[in-house]
Structure 1
Amino acid sequence: MTDDALPLVIVGGGAAGMIAAINASISGQPAIILEKNVRVGCNAEFSGGLIQGSGTRFQEQAGVTDSPEQHFADLQRQNRGESDPAIVELVARRSADAVHLLADEAGLALHLDQSVLYSGHSTYRMHSMASETGQELVQGIRARIRNDENIDFVDNAEVTDIVPNGSSLDVLVSMSGQQEVIPARNVILASNGFGANREMVRKYIGEAIAALPYWGSENSDGRGILIGMGLGAGTAYMTAYEGHSHLNPKYGTRMGGALPALGSILVDASGRRFASEATTNSGFSKFMIPLPGSQAVEIYDERIHRAAMTNGAYEEASEMGAVKQFEDLETLAAAFDLPVDAVADEVRKYNAAAGSERDELDRAARGRIPFAPPYYAASVSAGVIHTQGGLTVDTSCRVLTTNAEVIPGLYATGGVAAGISGTGVDTYLPGNGLTHAFTTGLVASEHVASVLV
């Protein structure tokens, strides 16, 4: 190890990297964050800002009963038991700690979102800022970091490689066109997944998915994963990704994933529903991909519209004009070039199923409130938000080789690490991305602090 090696270098200034730096500072350790490009944004900023947390004080204050065990069961049910159960258990068990650290140490005004019970969750466990946007969340954390003398946040610092040097790691960084070497005793990879790398998406997930609109940060180019692989790291769940079924490419907005949970329906160009909307936002996208342009029309009423306006992403889509209001179904159908008889028939059947156990597409209907005018609708598309596969890690987030041996000093978090969402797209549970990022960032920094003592 070189004498001038820094104790901790964090590659990436998103959710995982920022919480790792804050926790390192709390532990009395200095940290440097190397961020490729703040102006491009991180995936946390592109998110809905929803963080799963089980057994939090916010749930207790709201009278919501939850536990890491219940959380773990929900995650495993959604991912069909395909993810590493040790990592899934870790995320569920430490999720409350991450939420509390963000509230207490980062000073975030978090609240428990009880406006929507998101598909796949057995109780309310989503925590967010007032606006329910990733932008507000990230801005709050970065404000905390700017005022921390133990944290050095370096923008326009693109990490190109990591080279072992004795018992330390040399981090190769391109800054202002110059290549620099930063020796480090420990490196936390927190530069997210490979959603912006079309070649990697095509290789690991498929041509059809690579052709879909990508709705994440262009910084998520897979570099962290490729660096780890170059050091002998193993990978897992590389086909996993979060899809989205409520994008509005024409307006540059997305409508969030709350609408189906509130009762919306989606129809194809024939004016007919084509799948049960009871599945997750990510999972439903697989039913939209085969449609022309991967597009559908989402239909609901004013009650649902008003309820959805508490979500920042939906509010923005509405303000930008993606959401249209109609006094009757005839006008609605004409606006989207849909057969009015088919649309009217789907709404009639939807209303008729209210109070029954399940409708004809096996969607739960008990407690359903029939649609009433005025109606609302939007053209929506399927797309990709971020990838969920990555480097294999242990429960301290240390990177493991293909032979399951620890690579000394190297950690992977968030989208760089193999996630908790199984394989494919329908195993992703709402909130998995941010929750996995914050908890793994916390755990990695804790282990670094323990070895630096």
Structure 2
Amino acid sequence: MNNMWTRKHLLKSLLALGLLPLSSFAQSKDEAQKEDALPKKVDVIVIGSGAAGMSAAIAAKDKGARIVVLEKMPIIGGNTLISSGYFNAVDPERQKKQGIEDSIEKHIEQTLAGGDGRADPELVRILCSNALGSLHWLESMGLKFRPDVMQVYGALWPRSHLATEPKGTGFIRVLSTKAKELGVDILTNTKLVKIIREQFDEGRALGVLAEQKGKPFYIRATKGIVLAAGGFAANPRLRAIHDPRMSTLTTTNNQACSTGEVMLAANEAGAYLMGLDYIQCNPGCPPGHTSRQALHLDVSRYVFVDKRGKRFVAEDARRDVLRDAILNLPEKFGYAIVDNDGFNSYNQVVRDDAMKGLKTGDAFKADTLEGLAKQMGVPADQLKKTIADYNAMVDHKKDPDFGKAERNLSHKIEKAPYWAALSSMAVHHTMGGVRIDKETRVLDRQGNVIEGLYAAGEVTGGIHGTNRLGGNAIADIFTFGRIAGNSAANQK
């Protein structure tokens, strides 16, 4: 099992650093567990306390709805807490300062093309048109973003924003603070068991059967239920049903988190599931390794090489192209290489992970390329040639071998010390899930609305198609999370 910055360890680290005070969480574990405090009836039930769920809860609470959030884990945050945190949004103010030409139409076009035309165009337009508004909403709650934008791995264009706080901790900090301020009730260690409808497979969604400490209880939702519990990237059996290559891979997700039971409960209640075989991978630990490295995040900073010391793919390609390129290598892993400038461009969490990787054999560091090659176990002459050839491509702004975009041929690999990290494929995101409409209402097998049932985030399907652009998921969870909360609160 890889470390993946599980919430337990991440929370301890952040508390030790003073970056995430315990008081920032909307409700403590002890407060949430009092049996006599369990609600019997609310306006809106939200399943999951990641960014999609918390955004929905805050949006609904702002409308005056009585809210309860159910979270199966001991703390809030979901996979958002351990995400890389890159947020795609067309932002004329920031992008213009960097000379980046962009538009919402380009974002829509690239999202649709990146998903092979299999995404719902209406949902894609909503995502791309409202992403900047979601970013500004976060800023209004006190979250700060870096002034520059870049192109994160698999994003296809430099429109990726990054918060100044590490990973997704800033997102959860501002959301939990706002939720506490509004009085949102959160029950941790509480899992969804069943969605209750008026009749079997028919009628309005009335409430849920949940379980806390092994004890079942019911909650009635007078307005709606919002499903926001993530995907199934941490469920090897379920993902292997749809793509057998995924059965033995590690995952970037929290192992106890994205297991898909809420999606399956929705299906049992009559929701239509779509696109379940669209499963995305990101560089992660090879099987048997424990420390995930992230030197690949900025596509302008790193070079991918294989065990023979040769490049094998354009580093700024689509995520599914990168996935297949690595899985088609004989060893099924490669190496991401950066120089000292590239290493220092990353945040402290990425650098700390690399330092840990030096001890676990997942990262390598040397003052020369020859020394780096020796540690990696690749031919030194070939690695030196590969880097020299790549640096020449940067000079000429052209990659004749794999077609890396000119805008991303901006940084040479030339300043010691040099760093390399093992990069296998780990299951990262599941693009399939419950089908929704533009108001995030869940649709049944005939395409009809299931009244009172909504969904947002990775539990849904149809937003990304076959392949998700890097940075689009964070935009997705905030944009559709807010829509879901508003829709549920406005339900008659």
TM normalised by structure 2 equals 0.82
Moved more, 442-451 or 134-143: 134-143
Task: Give the match for residue 253 of structure 1.
Answer: 292
1:445 partner amino acid: G
Instruction: Determine which of 145, 158, 167 is the counterpart of 1:110.
Output: 145
Q: State the distance in 2 between where 1:231 and 1:112 align.
A: 45
Checking the alignment, whether the CA contact within 8 Å between 1:244 and 1:382 is kept in structure 2 is yes
CA distance 1:59–1:349, shift in 2 (3 Å): closer
Secondary structure of the corresponding residue to residue 422 of structure 2: strand
| Cα deviation, residue 442, structure 1 | 0.8
Task: Give the match for residue 226 of structure 1.
Answer: 264
| Cα deviation, residue 451, structure 1 | 2.1
| Cα deviation, residue 84, structure 1 | 0.8
Task: Give the match for residue 46 of structure 2.
Answer: 10
Task: Give the match for residue 335 of structure 2.
Answer: 297
Q: State the distance in 2 between where 1:113 and 1:373 align.
A: 23
Secondary structure of the corresponding residue to residue 267 of structure 2: helix
> Equivalences for 1:260-339 in 2 at 5 Å?
261-281=299-319, 283-307=321-345, 309=346, 311-322=347-358, 323-339=363-379
Task: Give the match for residue 421 of structure 1.
Answer: 464
Task: Give the match for residue 30 of structure 2.
Answer: none
Aligned residue-pair number: 439
Instruction: Determine which of 220, 234, 238 is the counterpart of 2:276.
Output: 238
Checking the alignment, whether the CA contact within 8 Å between 1:241 and 1:387 is kept in structure 2 is yes
Is there any run of 5+ residues in structure 1 with no aligned partner, and where? none
Q: Percent identity?
A: 26
| Cα deviation, residue 115, structure 1 | 4.8
| Cα deviation, residue 26, structure 1 | 1.4
Checking the alignment, whether the CA contact within 8 Å between 2:95 and 2:149 is kept in structure 1 is no
Checking the alignment, whether the CA contact within 8 Å between 2:138 and 2:174 is kept in structure 1 is no
CA distance 1:58–1:179, shift in 2 (3 Å): farther
| Cα deviation, residue 213, structure 1 | 0.7
2:403 partner amino acid: D
Task: Give the match for residue 360 of structure 1.
Answer: 401
| Cα deviation, residue 127, structure 1 | 3.0
Q: State the distance in 1 between where 2:114 and 2:280 align.
A: 13
Q: State the distance in 2 between where 1:357 and 1:410 align.
A: 50
Q: State the distance in 2 between where 1:138 and 1:25 align.
A: 17
| Cα deviation, residue 75, structure 1 | 1.0
Task: Give the match for residue 346 of structure 1.
Answer: 386
Q: State the distance in 2 between where 1:289 and 1:201 align.
A: 16
Task: Give the match for residue 187 of structure 2.
Answer: 154
Q: State the distance in 2 between where 1:412 and 1:383 align.
A: 26
Secondary structure of the corresponding residue to residue 147 of structure 1: helix
Deviations 1:133-167 (A, max 9, x none): 11232233222222322x10110111111111375
TM normalised by structure 1 equals 0.89
| Cα deviation, residue 263, structure 1 | 3.7
Does structure 1 residue 382 correspond to structure 2 residue 425? yes
1:349 partner amino acid: D
2:230 partner amino acid: N
Checking the alignment, whether the CA contact within 8 Å between 2:432 and 2:460 is kept in structure 1 is yes
Q: State the distance in 1 between where 2:103 and 2:311 align.
A: 36
> Equivalences for 1:105-184 in 2 at 5 Å?
106-116=141-151, 119-124=154-159, 126-149=160-183, 151-165=184-198, 167-184=204-221
Q: State the distance in 2 between where 1:9 and 1:312 align.
A: 37
Is there any run of 5+ residues in structure 2 with no aligned partner, and where? 1-39
Secondary structure of the corresponding residue to residue 355 of structure 2: helix
CA distance 1:88–1:291, shift in 2 (3 Å): same
1:338 partner amino acid: V
Task: Give the match for residue 246 of structure 2.
Answer: 209
Q: State the distance in 2 between where 1:356 and 1:227 align.
A: 51
Q: State the distance in 1 between where 2:451 and 2:233 align.
A: 27
Task: Give the match for residue 23 of structure 2.
Answer: none
Checking the alignment, whether the CA contact within 8 Å between 1:197 and 1:220 is kept in structure 2 is yes
Instruction: Determine which of 393, 413, 426 is the counterpart of 1:371.
Output: 413
2:477 partner amino acid: A
Checking the alignment, whether the CA contact within 8 Å between 2:302 and 2:336 is kept in structure 1 is yes
